[in-house]
Structure formats: C-alpha cells, structure tokens
Amino acid sequence: MLGFASDDAILVACLLDDATGAVVQNLDPGGAGTGHFLIETPGTCRVQVDASGGWRIQLSPP
C-alpha cells in the first residue's frame, strides 16, 4: 500500500515501474489532504513527486 499526503495545493506523484519506466499509476489528491493506492502487481517501483509544498510518502503491507 502506498500512502501519500500533501500539505499544499499541488502534489502529483507518479508510481513508475522501475524496469520499464512505465507509469503504473498517477496519484493526485487535488489539494491538501491524504490518499492511498493499493499496489497489486509485485515488482520494483519508484515514485516521482512534483509538489508545491510539504509532502509525505509511506509504503506499508496491504
């Protein structure tokens, strides 16, 4: 499970497949707030974040 939080108006996080660079999921809470995404496919991923303020990303077992 990937949890994310934004303290400001803009947070766009892209979950990318590390092997191919393909976008697995775009995450955009649409302003300050929190959200989560269940990563269903096993493998190695990376997260690319563009934000205008403070943000947090947390990975945890489903």
Per-residue confidence (pLDDT) for residue 29, from 0 to 100: 81
Mean pLDDT of 10-20: 92
Q: Which range marks the domain in which residue 39 is found?
A: 2-59
Q: What does pTM read for this prediction?
A: 0.79
Contact 50, 8 (CB under 8 A): no
Q: How many domains does the chain divide into? A: 1
Token pair of 11 as six digits: 């947070």
Contact 9, 31 (CB under 8 A): yes
* pLDDT tens for each residue of 22-61: 999 998 888 898 999 999 888 899 999 999 999 999 998 8
Confidence of residue 15 (pLDDT cuts 50, 70, 90): very high
Confidence of residue 62 (pLDDT cuts 50, 70, 90): confident
What gap in Å lies between CA 33 and CA 29, rounded to an integer?
7
